């Protein structure tokens, strides 16, 4: 089965692929399908929940391609910031910072700036992910969450997004210091993707 993934983030696609390694599902990206970027896509993630954003993206690209579509929306919620950045995680830093430093580095720098005066014991945070699957006649959304703390400086060369700042206290490492397989085993995205994979396997076996 060909399953399209509604992302142009190759790092994200590489992280997802191993989860579907031993299934009859073949993942294809929007780039492989030749789906051109449109300005209206920027409005797809305007909801206040990860689940709504994921489902909106999956439905939109399913309608454009006619293919079974998987989309995810993920981000980080920081307790000391009343749950920010949440669904705005990708666009958290001001535009001028993102232009100067690039998206990921700007978001990390901005988060550190917001938490500058927050003591270590109050720097708890949570990664969230929602994965939506839209097939021809049904759709589902699956969720995942992992808890950690925000460090005062980045560590690790792997991962992307906020991974270099997100520390797992029980392991003493950031999610940027994990291998892809280690990260998939415990991460918010890994949890949601495995649930989506298992449901899709059931559908294919009907």
Domain extent listing, the chain? 2-205
According to DSSP H, which parts of 66-102 are helical? 95-101
pLDDT digits (tens, 9 = 90+) for 75-119: 999 999 999 999 999 999 999 999 999 999 999 999 999 999 999
pLDDT of residue 129: 96
Specify whether 73 is catalytic.
yes
pLDDT, average across residues 53-68: 96
**Residue 28 near residue 3, CB atoms below 8 Å:** yes
pLDDT, average across residues 21-33: 89
Q: Is the pLDDT assigned to residue 63 strictly greater than 90?
A: yes
Burial group, residue 49, by CB count within 10 angstroms (0-12, 13-18, 19+): middle
Encoded tokens for 47: 């909801």
H or E element at residue 148: strand 139-150
**Residue appearing with tokens 């294919």:** 204
pLDDT, average across residues 192-202: 93
pLDDT digits (tens, 9 = 90+) for 138-178: 999 999 999 999 999 999 998 899 999 999 999 999 999 99
How distant is the alpha carbon of residue 71 from its chain centre?
A: 9
Active-site residue among 73, 82, 104, 117? 73
**Residue appearing with tokens 């689940």:** 51
CATH 3.10.620.30 fits 2-205, yes or no: no
């Amino acid at each position: 089965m060909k399953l399209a993934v509604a992302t142009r983030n190759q790092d994200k696609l590489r992280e997802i692929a191993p989860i579907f390694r031993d299934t009859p599902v073949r993942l294809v990206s929007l780039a492989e399908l030749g789906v051109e970027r449109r300005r209206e896509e920027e409005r797809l993630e305007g909801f206040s929940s990860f689940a709504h954003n994921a489902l909106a993206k999956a439905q939109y690209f399913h309608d454009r391609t006619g293919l079974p579509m998987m989309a995810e929306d993920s981000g980080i919620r920081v307790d000391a910031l009343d749950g920010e950045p949440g669904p705005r995680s990708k666009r958290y830093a001001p535009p001028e910072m993102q232009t100067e430093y690039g998206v990921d580095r700007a978001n990390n720098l901005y988060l550190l700036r917001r938490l500058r005066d927050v003591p270590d014991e109050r720097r708890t945070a949570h990664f969230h992910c929602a994965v939506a699957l839209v097939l021809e006649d049904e759709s589902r959304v699956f969720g995942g969450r992992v808890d950690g703390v925000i460090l005062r400086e980045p560590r690790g060369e792997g991962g992307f997004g906020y991974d270099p700042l997100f520390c797992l206290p029980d392991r003493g490492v950031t999610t940027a210091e994990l291998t892809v397989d280690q990260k998939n085993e415990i991460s918010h995205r890994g949890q949601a993707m495995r649930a989506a994979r298992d449901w899709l396997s059931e559908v294919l076996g009907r």
